[in-house]
Chains A and B, each alone.
Chain A
Amino acid sequence: MASTIVIDPVTRIEGHAKISIYLNDAGEVDDARFHVVEYRGFEKFCEGRPFTEMAGITARICGICPVSHLLAAAKTGDKILAVKVPVAAEKLRRLMNLGQITQSHALSFFHLSSPDFLLGWDSDPAQRNVFGLIAADPDLARAGIRLRQFGQTVIEKLGARKIHAAWTVPGGVRSPLSEEGRTWIRDRLPESLATTRQALDIFKQFLDRFGAEADVFGTFPTLFMGLVSANGEWEHYDGHLRFTDSEGNIVADNLSEDNYQDFLGEAVESWSYLKFPYYKPLGYPDGIYRVGPLARLNICDRIGTEGADRELQELRDRAGGVPTGSFLYHYARLIEILTCLEKIQQLMDDPDIVSPRVRAEAGINELEGIGVSEAPRGTLFHHYNVDENGLIEKVNLIIATGQNNLAMNKTVTQIAKHYVRGAEIQEGMLNRVEAGIRCFDPCLSCSTHAAGQMPLHVEIVDAAGQVLNEVYRD
């Protein structure tokens, strides 16, 4: 009899979601869906507000990566002012984004995902969390927490607070880095680099042992999209958009965010509040593409810093070409932390970061602006239309997690087909399905459930809607 398994809520991700697994009459997995069950409404209630408030408002979308929205909103504001921000402001914005990517990736790896690798998917769920990690390996857990603290403190040293620092503004930033801040960052860099290298070693050892199992975590061909610099290097703040395929071929290059509607479509499904962006030339859903750490590493020619480029080469060597397994997002995240730390190191020697000339002022010179930046989870677009006084008339936000929506659904289906047989629910299986989602580190809202284990509710429902079996995990 056809039935449905529902995993609700999905745990150790940022936000609220549930997973439905549909079984056919033979009890085999037919399809699986990743539902995002929250509605936020930002695009609507921002209408009528001054565009200068957008950085402050949209940063509140998320407590994990508010900086991403601060940057995208400020860059969109730059376009409306029609100004080029001072050189120092661009470097300072970059510095904050590097701190942001570091802290967010550290959170994803150490707090949310590493309990799966280090304690095992089949370990006691009560222990399979950051507290279990602290008990099992206190030194590693402490180092991971301090690495995240480093990234957060970079943000605080610039914006005076770790979360929702309304420091980036249309035209630049509010203030430069203080000498005290620069000294603090310099002093903590060696420890942060050492922790990242340790995490990379641990993850590679895990891959050596469990690589075959990891292969079922969303390994399939898709396009990859993200920003690259003018010379094809890894980029996180500016540059142009590039699409590549799973063979490493460049599908489209030198794309501007200003024309995103020409190549990105946004499909809607009735069963999720999260939209389904796709690459327009291939249509929906064939235009599936992935964004985020793995995509950024796949689209760039090189990273541009020594240690990170060495790690990128090893990743490509291990994959025998373009790494397409979604499980490798974890690996890519660690390489990106190394990238960020090496780039922060370069910025520390740059005299511009303490320059007081950080903000350009202008009136309303354009009535439409589109800004883009690379959030930890992928490319983020802000698109505003304003009236002649700068009041918002229309907003469109394309969030990184949304762009991975098709890939997340495909990953869940692939894992479910591999591990689910009939209506019997095994704890390890459930966590593998969740872990498949966790590869993408989806950020579904401002809320986070970083610590502990939320209750898990699984339902098996037949085609007539009758509940056949239920399991609760407290």
Chain B
Amino acid sequence: MSVVTLKINDQELATETGKTILEAAQDAGIRIPTLCHLDGITDVGACRLCLIELKGGRKLLPACVTEVAEGMEVETHTEKLQDYRRMIVELLFSEGNHVCAICVANENCELQDVAVEVGMDHTRFRYRFPDRHIDLSHPQFGIDHNRCILCTRCVRVCDEIEGAHVWDVAQRGAAEYIVSGLSQPWGEVDACTACGKCVDACPTGSIFRKGTTTAEKVGDRDKLQFLVTARQERQWTR
């Protein structure tokens, strides 16, 4: 195991080669906000909340997909970064139809938590009120695209952990949305094993168990990392 040394927020650290800046920061107890990151599945750098500044670099880099390197000097909470993070969360809220008061994930929502963390008390952008649909065709679960932030955790957890690859992404830009199967109603997708991992992975109230009412959704996100570790290490207790 080779080791690299770096500084995060002037704190000197030694970590393994190949780790990401996000992992190195987490190991050192330095909190960087994330939404699309989920322990146990690969990172894609979709949400941009974990952007960091690198001394000597002009670009902001996503900590979840940037590997550590010898001598790096990383800043995670500059004023500029905090402004950007707040703006990203504001954009997420204005882009979808997020009505916390009646959402199944109210008070158990990572988007809500992050909004509090970055100090968002309103959005300066006009709400787009997109016309999105709800798919309740699955016998056990539902997906409400109004609440989707396109983190693609459901896509990755279904592909990488369950191996069913029910979910994918269709279209581009503002028209982008999550599809099941070949853009079929979820209930008609044979590949779905009804395992519920996407429900646990979803950071908001977008994917939920049918019949769940306001603030009733509780996602067991640690279970996904547990499954990965259990399979690799053959440890089946939590």
Given contacts A48-B133, A50-B142, contact A361 B101 (CB under 8 A): no
The 6 residue pairs across chains A and B that have the minimum distance between CB atoms: A56-B214, A166-B214, A389-B136, A56-B102, A169-B213, A57-B102
Q: Fill in one digit per residue for A169-202: 1 if any B CB lies within 8 Å of its CB, else 0.
A: 1100010000000000000000000000000000
Residue B17 interfacial (CB < 8 Å): no
B137 touches A52 (CB 8 A): no
Q: Knowing A52-B213, A53-B214, A361-B211 are in contact, say whether A164-B134 is a contact too (CB < 8 A).
A: no
Q: Are A391 and B134 in contact, with the CB atoms below 8 A?
A: yes
Q: How far is the CA of A369 from the CA of B210 in the complex (A)?
A: 18
Not counting A48-B133, A53-B214, A56-B102, a sample of 15 additional A-B residue pairs whose C-beta atoms are within 8 angstroms of each other reads: A50-B134, A50-B136, A50-B142, A50-B144, A55-B214, A56-B101, A60-B101, A164-B101, A166-B213, A166-B214, A174-B213, A389-B136, A390-B136, A390-B210, A391-B136
What residues of B have a CB within 8 angstroms of the CB of A50 in the complex? 134, 136, 142, 144, 210
* Residue of A whose beta carbon sits closest to that of B144: A50
Whether A56 lies near B213 (C-beta < 8 A) is yes
With both beta carbons as reference points, the residue of chain B lying nearest to A387 in the complex is identified as B136
Q: B212 at the A/B interface (Cβ < 8 Å)?
A: yes
Within B182-221, which residues are at the interface with A (CB < 8 Å)? 210-216
Q: Is the contact region of chain A dominated by helix, strand, or loop, or is it mixed?
A: loop
CB contacts (< 8 Å) of B214 on chain A: these are 53, 55-56, 166
Q: Scoring A residues 42 to 60 as 1 if CB is less than 8 Å from chain B, else 0, what string do you get?
A: 0000001110110111001
Chain A residues contacting B142 (CB-CB under 8 Å) are 50
Find chain A residues with CB under 8 A from B134 CB: 48-50, 391
Cα of A361 to Cα of B209 in the assembled complex, Å: 13
Is the beta-carbon distance between A52 and B211 smaller than 8 angstroms?
yes
Interface size in chain A (residues, C-beta < 8 A):
19
Closest to A164 in B: B101
CB distance from B148 to the nearest CB of A (A): 15
Q: Shortest CB–CB separation between residue A393 and chain B, in angstroms?
A: 13
Q: Which residue of B lies closest to A171 (CB)?
A: B211
Q: Chain A's nearest CB lies how many Å from the CB of B205?
A: 10
CB distance from A59 to the nearest CB of B (A): 8
Q: Which residue of A lies closest to B215 (CB)?
A: A166
Bound form: Cα–Cα A76–B102 in Å: 18
In the bound complex, what is the Cα–Cα distance between A181 and B215 (angstroms)? Answer: 22
Contact string against A for B residues 119-138, beta-carbon threshold 8 Å, 1 for contact and 0 otherwise: 00000000000000110110
CA–CA, A49 and B214, complex, Å: 13
Contact A60 B102 (CB under 8 A): yes
Contact residues of A between 413 and 442, Cβ < 8 Å to B? none
Cβ contacts under 8 Å, A49 to chain B? 134
Chain A residue with Cβ nearest B137: A389
Could you list 7 A-B pairs, sorted by A, with CB under 8 Å?
A52-B211, A52-B212, A52-B213, A53-B214, A55-B214, A60-B101, A363-B139
A55 to B212, CA, bound (A): 12
List the A side residues contacting B215 at CB < 8 Å. Answer: 166
